[in-house]
Structure 1
């Protein structure tokens, strides 16, 4: 009888630790997804600033040619420069507010937090891609 109880106890501990490992893996996987989404566009941050400068130069050139005739194009370019700036700032705002889930959260809180962060960083990622594509198209670099 003692052998059976001991066996059940060992079996219970085995399942307990294996479940905890799966939970930890789930959190680790979510964290890797979030960071992966971030890492996909982080290398383009410098390009956002470079393209913004080029768009501003183009806008300034149109202004100097004829500010009245080119008013609509100047406004479009100014909006595009703002979009590039917003995409750049969005990444750093997200990075400042992101905290690693190991910092005082239980497993369920960490999961919810990481799912929220995943959605936020997806929006940042998409905003960067759209801004880059729009600027490249405008500047004939696509």
Structure 2
């Protein structure tokens, strides 16, 4: 239940857009959220591909390739869910949505979260690309 509430919270966050001053570029928080917003819509694709691959898994070498691709997709999905949970535990809505100034400790955390979300995005994009190639073969 807590995960569902958190996912809804992030969906609301990603749909809310702050008014930006033209002279300023996006903040680091906005950049982190932009990476999240770029890959979050691909979560449905992950689920669809898992379902397609699951039907093709068997004991043959090709079936094992499908299984590995399916596991990569599942791992990418889990990494996104874990990242969102950890991110939500570290930052409050004012920091995420309103640009509230971060403490020095939270700035270090944001640096860490930026690297983590980049890795999550890479996992998602790579696992989708691999699965799509396998399914087309």
TM over 0.5: yes
| Alignment partner, residue 132 of structure 1 | 128
- 1:94-135 deviation digits (Å, cap 9, x = unpaired): 0001032649x8532222111110000000000000000001
Q: Provide the rounded CA distance (Å) in 2 between the counterparts of 1:106 and 1:74.
A: 49
Using the alignment, how far apart are the partners of 1:112 and 1:132 within structure 2?
31
Between the two proteins, the alignment pairs up a number of residues equal to 107
2:86 is equivalent to residue 97 of structure 1: yes
Q: 1:31 aligns with which of 29, 32, 51?
A: 29
Cα deviation, 1:9-56, whole Å, max 9, x if unaligned, reads xxxxxxxxxxxxxxxx89x70110111111110001011010011011
| Aligned-pair Cα RMSD in Å | 2.5
After TM superposition, the score normalised by the length of structure 1 is 0.67
Gaps of 5+ in 2: 1-23
Give the structure with the higher percent helix: 1
Which residue matches 2:13? none
Report what 1:84 is aligned to: 73
